[in-house]
Structure 1
């Protein structure tokens, strides 16, 4: 086994069926696949067996990364944030040197790979660069992924306080965004000021303005304009107009002279460029951009590209900085075959928020014949655009003649929810003349319900001079067509013939057709045949059919049989049917059985049923259990029931917990529901000030320097805003 794998081998591992190999190929650095696979269990064991202090550091690091903090985690931030993850008893019992002991334990390498935390070193070859003044650590990739998938707990107040004190720049900007998503308006504002970037200032200003606090938002908007975001001027003017402050809006536009200036400069530049005077036009495009028309930069970049001056154009695309401009630059570089640069720009575009960048990179690489590299980018694109990336990756492999790999990608696309992928695979095999394999994929596509495959089936068999009667999936397709035409008796003959040839699913479809025509007992006999032939889902479907026909007792018998045959969800289905007819106590016993069997969604359904019945205290207990398994969405339904019964404090508590778990829309829903229930004062307060760090509706606060004292942020951080509260600074 090699110590490192080369790039080609890593790309091949991305196509494996084993998710562990795919994860290793995606996350292991420097091709160290073996070390990643060997180290993962050790890291998990270390996390589970860590002392309270070490575990708290890891939990703080995991939460920081899932909330957007960059890779490098400063020691002062980690140490202070970790205190929020300890109980009072654990904190009191920590030895004086707990931090040193914890880091010694966590930084110890495992199986030739990084430890749970690794000190961040200066880059190689940078010995003359200034040394890193604050020690920082990197969380192991495996633990980072574990945190993203398993941690759903509320973030402790100490974490946010530590972030406000120790994070700035990109760190503060990323965490400010997360704080806003958690409804923590106050700490989001503090972090935005610490970041000092135009993006963070604009985000904070938008939040304040949307909360009806335009006077406090204006300094942030004006500061962003002062540092170059002049395109905001008409937007801020519009905000003022909406607030009825027309005189101030007019004054802002007058001082900036922006609309007329932008239009005239851009028009003049376009005329010059069309006349072949591009260099003179560029100066006007820049002037228009400086006046607020950022799109002028892209126009200039596009004109330079068309003139064959791509290197100059890149500087203009870079000035634009928006995701689409970065995407265009990447594509232009790819057209020129400058792949290393192109991929770097594609990555920047993706990080800036262009959702198509990764997929575009993969497709352009494919077109250029760089399939191995393209597959890596298809794989990365699949993380956010799964179906499109997997299907197009499969097409690329198919076009290149890599049959085995193409079929594997089509299969992955289907498993991700792309039903037509099976038909695409069948068509590909048919074109290659692999008739037997094509038939198998057409059969599966037909069973999956792909209407295109269903219509293609008959045509394909005719092309191959094959008889429909010999192929069960073709008979199934014909039966469906007859059923759609209302020819029930004829369609049953085709379904039965298909079943006689071994296609058990045909029995289920007959039962469904009969049930749709209110022939319940006939349907049950076919469900029984299907179950006897090994189709476990038939038992569950039969049970639900009987329940819908007001024969719940019989339905429960079938659902019990379905569970005993291996269908774990059948217990929850039975519980839901019992709850729907008001037999909640009996339903709870079935919900509990489902939970014990490993169906954790049963807790969500049970808590919702209890809340709907007004048994809110019991519902709360089940929600606590559900949240341990990451099901925070159930809280919202319970909170609504609290409001309906006038229990406002409890409702607010549960809405807050949803927000603290990171559900971005939870705060706005809480505001809407409070208003609907008649609690206007609480709704207005939450809308204007958000939640505090302890999960209560925040008291009123003012977005100014005095707020910084609460978080230990020096007043100098706010100086950039103090002189910008008035519009008379604009245009000077």
Structure 2
């Protein structure tokens, strides 16, 4: 930490580039070219005029990689193992403690344009480029996100095409999004057709979505059957304000998907029975889905009962889901206990949910403490949660 705090401006800029790369999703091995091209963006013109000679980067690396009292520096050069394929350029690993520290210290900072440009050209793997594209998109840097996704797709990461299509759709270019997804379908990417169907559904083009789902089903993809069943089983209103619901057709398609081995078809059948108020049938199918390996089936059914106002049934199903190992049920159990006036049990479940990785649970706990008049306890929880998620801060402010 002392070497990070007191580093020269060039070395500190290199460390900022490394810290941002790691917290925004790049893998642990950072290419030298990424750091060298990103770091100047962290320096203002006056500082750059002072240090920006031909050897500024090598001097910064020497400062950061030099050991001190037999301990490695803030950056450590990666040495490939004998059975490892050697990389064409050096790779560096950021000190673990700095990596952890940077995730909180720089949590609300957005990197400069030079960083995103360097990431598009020099990130180590296509998956690293896609992860950084996601970070750019989340921060409203859509132009940089587009470049990163294109770079990742050209380098062989098909998931970047999906992200790019989502971005195009989000910015109103539905035709461009559809072209990208069809390009992925033609390339044989398995998930692309499903996302194309979802896009048609969001645009309320039910006929187009059904046509594509039928195409997938005819091609032997059981997920096409599930999509088609979902479309048929969705309750709609026609132009004459009459309900359109092909429940029998949806059930037949779901059973075909079950026979074809689709892992979530039984859950779809359970939801269909729930909509038809066949609650025994819904529970029986949810248990079958659980036995088939779908851990979320009971918890989803519990949420449905909760939203319908049947708190007792929701709590019973949530306990069954928890007993089956579904930790997502903890938040629902906390809600039902709080509404029943059992605040201690509610807090206990929220604590368990937080330990299980639920990023909203600490915020809910802060709300409970505040409502109970324990402002100090609420503030402690909110501050603790802020180190991981800004969501807790918003809960506290509300």
Confirm or deny: 8 A CA contact 1:594 1:602 kept in the other structure. Answer: yes
Q: Secondary structure at the match of 2:30?
A: helix
Q: Which has the larger radius of gyration?
A: 1
Q: 1:541 aligns with which of 268, 277, 292?
A: 268
User: Aligned partners of 1:601 and 1:564: how far apart in 2?
Assistant: 18
* Distance in structure 1 (CA, Å) of the matches to 2:187 and 2:73: 56
Alignment-derived partner of residue 661 in structure 1: 385
Indicate yes or no: 2:30 matched with 1:26: yes
* CA distance, structure 1, for counterparts of residue 161 and residue 102 of structure 2: 23
The question of 1:499 aligning with 2:247 is answered no
Residue 115 of structure 2: aligned partner: 358
Aligned twin of 1:392 = 147
- 235, 251, 268: which is aligned to 1:524? 251
Which of 188, 199, 203 is 1:440 aligned to?
188
8 Å contact kept, 1:600–1:626: yes
Task: Work out which of the residue numbers 476, 479, 483 in structure 1 matches 2:207.
Answer: 483
Query: Distance between the aligned counterparts of 2:267 and 2:147, measured in 1?
Result: 36
Q: Match for 1:511 among 222, 229, 240?
A: 229
SS state at 2:262 partner: coil
Q: Which residue of 2 aligns with 1:631?
A: 358
- State the 1:619 CA deviation: 0.6
SS in 2 for 1:26: strand
CA distance in 2, matches of 1:620, 1:374: 44
In structure 2, relative to structure 1, the CA distance for the partners of 1:668 and 1:613 (3 Å cut) is same
- How do residues 168-567 of structure 1 correspond to structure 2 at under 5 angstroms? 353-354=110-111, 356-361=113-118, 371=121, 378=129, 381-382=132-133, 384-385=135-136, 391-393=146-148, 395-396=150-151, 405=155, 407-408=156-157, 410-412=158-160, 414=162, 418=166, 423-424=179-180, 427=183, 438=186, 440-441=188-189, 444-449=191-196, 483=207, 499-515=217-233, 516=235, 517-567=244-294
Unmatched 5+ stretches in structure 2: 1-25, 36-66, 75-92, 169-176, 236-243
Q: Under a length normalisation based on structure 2, what TM-score does the superposition of the two structures give?
A: 0.56
Residue 146 of structure 1 deviates from its aligned partner by 6.7
In the TM superposition, residue 144 of structure 1 has moved relative to its aligned partner by: 5.5
In the superposition, relative to structure 1, how do residues 555 and 617 fare at CA in structure 2: closer, same or farther (>3 Å)? same
Contact 2:223-2:262 at 8 Å conserved across structures: yes
Structure 1: distance between partners of 2:134 and 2:198 = 28
C-alpha displacement of 1:573: 0.9
CA contact (8 A) 2:331 2:350 kept: yes
Q: Which has the higher contact order (CA 8 A, sep 6+)?
A: 1
Q: What is the alpha-carbon root mean square deviation over aligned residues?
A: 5.0
Cα separation, 2, equivalents of 1:449 and 1:656: 45
Provide Cα deviations, 1:201-259, integer angstroms capped at 9, x if missing partner. Answer: xxxxxxxxxxxxxxxxxxxxxxxxxxxxxxxxxxxxxxxxxxxxxxxxxxxxxxxxxxx
1:154-173 map, 5 Å: none
| 1:621 shift after superposition | 1.0
**Residues 679-713 of structure 1: CA deviation (Å, up to 9, x unaligned):** xxxxxxxxxxxxxxxxxxxxxxxxxxxxxxxxxxx
Any conservation in 2 of the 1:547–1:555 contact (CA below 8 Å)? yes
Aligned length: 299
What CA distance in whole angstroms lies between the structure 2 residues aligned with 1:28 and 1:626? 40
Give 2:340's aligned residue.
613
User: Any conservation in 1 of the 2:366–2:381 contact (CA below 8 Å)?
Assistant: no
Deviation at 1:616, TM superposition (A): 1.3
More helix by share: 1
After TM superposition, give the deviation of residue 606 of structure 1 in Å.
2.0
